[in-house]
């Protein structure tokens, strides 16, 4: 079931990004930013729900909640960058910027999918992701081109998160099959545009693009960093402790 695997990966990256960003709720550096990040998190939860509804339909057996709450780390396929801890505000902004730039280009392409469900979900997500990119990009510039300290901090965030960007452009059997049949995206085809967004923003932010060195990999096979398990233990606690609990 390549289509199911493919859709599940998209859903998982949205879901884990959403859960991670939601940790900022009530802890934002300013009230406006608290609200902004919480709203971005909410968009991503909504997107995850849409893709998971389709996964559940393709599966024919498990529900959306089963997929969200009854899988373990090794059964999740989100990009590793999405599960990384929030760190300080600059770390979160870099993570959000790097992933939103990818999501923006990915959904632009996916909205042309031959699969009606995927193209509809992508077109919907794209409208929201545009604002995520705009928002995180403006913070990249404010922090990068801010004070000496904010520049130093966000450069360090960028340097340490860069190793997670290689995964965006990996293509395995599932991706190749789905993109060849016109249902999905050839991620290599968006790399140039991603580089453009990143390079333009970094130069405007007075930040230095890190060199490509060791790149993290494995999430397509369910291999994750230690952080995902901790995130899941919190996200899944209630449905696991009280199975079939209803609001």
Partner 1 sequence: MLNGNTDKIWELLNTVPDPEIPVISVVELGVIRNIEFINDSYLISITPTYSGCPAVKTFQDDIKTCLTNNGVDNFELKLIYSPAWTTDWMTEKTKEKLLKYGISPPSKTVICPQCKSTSTTTISDFGSTACKSFHSCNDCLEPFEHFKCI
Residues that bind partner 1 (CB under 8 A): 18, 32-33, 35-36, 39-47, 49-50, 116-117, 119-121, 123-125, 127-128, 131, 134-135, 138
CB 63 within 8 A of CB 52: no
Q: To the nearest whole angstrom, how small is the minimum distance from the Cβ of residue 121 to partner 1?
A: 6
Name which of 18 and 198 has its Cβ closer to partner 1.
18
Report in angstroms the alpha-carbon separations of 152 from 62, 148, 156, 199, 234: 47, 6, 6, 18, 32
Q: To the nearest whole angstrom, how small is the minimum distance from the Cβ of residue 95 to partner 1?
A: 17
Name which of 120 and 223 has its Cβ closer to partner 1.
120
Name which of 105 and 174 has its Cβ closer to partner 1.
105
Count of C-beta atoms within a 10 Å radius of residue 221 = 10
Contacts for 150 with CB less than 8 Å, ≥ 6 apart: 90, 142, 143, 144
Q: To the nearest whole angstrom, how small is the minimum distance from the Cβ of residue 32 to partner 1?
A: 4
- The helices-and-strands tally (H runs, E runs) of the chain is 11, 0
| Distance from chain centroid for Cα 85 | 13
Which residue in 92, 106, 223 sits closest to 169, CA to CA?
A: 106
Q: To the nearest whole angstrom, how small is the minimum distance from the Cβ of residue 70 to partner 1?
A: 22
Name which of 22 and 225 has its Cβ closer to partner 1.
22
Contacts for 14 with CB less than 8 Å, ≥ 6 apart: 44, 45, 47, 48, 51, 125
Name which of 97 and 164 has its Cβ closer to partner 1.
97
Structure-token pair, residue 155: 């450069």
Name which of 41 and 165 has its Cβ closer to partner 1.
41
DSSP designation for 76: -
Q: To the nearest whole angstrom, how small is the minimum distance from the Cβ of residue 37 to partner 1?
A: 8
Q: To the nearest whole angstrom, how small is the minimum distance from the Cβ of residue 213 to partner 1?
A: 33
């Amino acid at each position: 079931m390549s289509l199911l695997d493919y859709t599940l990966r998209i859903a998982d990256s949205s879901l884990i990004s959403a859960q991670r960003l939601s940790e900022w709720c009530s802890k934002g550096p300013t009230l406006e930013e608290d609200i902004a990040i919480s709203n971005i998190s909410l968009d991503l939860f909504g997107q995850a729900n849409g893709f998971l509804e389709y996964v559940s339909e393709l599966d024919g057996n498990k529900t959306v909640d089963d997929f969200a709450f009854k899988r373990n780390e090794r059964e999740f396929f989100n990009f590793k960058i999405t599960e990384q801890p929030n760190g300080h505000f600059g770390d979160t902004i870099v993570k959000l910027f790097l992933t939103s730039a990818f999501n923006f280009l990915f959904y632009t392409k996916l909205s042309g999918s031959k699969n009606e469900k995927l193209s509809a979900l992508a077109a919907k997500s794209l409208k929201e992701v545009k604002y995520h990119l705009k928002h995180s990009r403006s913070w990249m510039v404010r922090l990068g081109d801010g004070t000496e300290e904010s520049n130093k901090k966000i450069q360090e965030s960028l340097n340490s998160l860069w190793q997670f960007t290689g995964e965006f452009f990996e293509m395995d059997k599932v991706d190749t099959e789905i993109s060849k049949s016109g249902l999905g995206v050839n991620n290599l085809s968006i790399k140039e545009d991603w580089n453009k967004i990143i390079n333009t923003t970094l130069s405007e932010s007075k930040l230095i693009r890190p060199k490509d060195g060791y790149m993290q990999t494995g999430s397509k096979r369910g291999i994750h960093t230690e952080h995902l398990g901790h995130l899941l233990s919190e996200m899944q606690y209630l449905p696991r402790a009280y199975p079939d609990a209803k609001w």
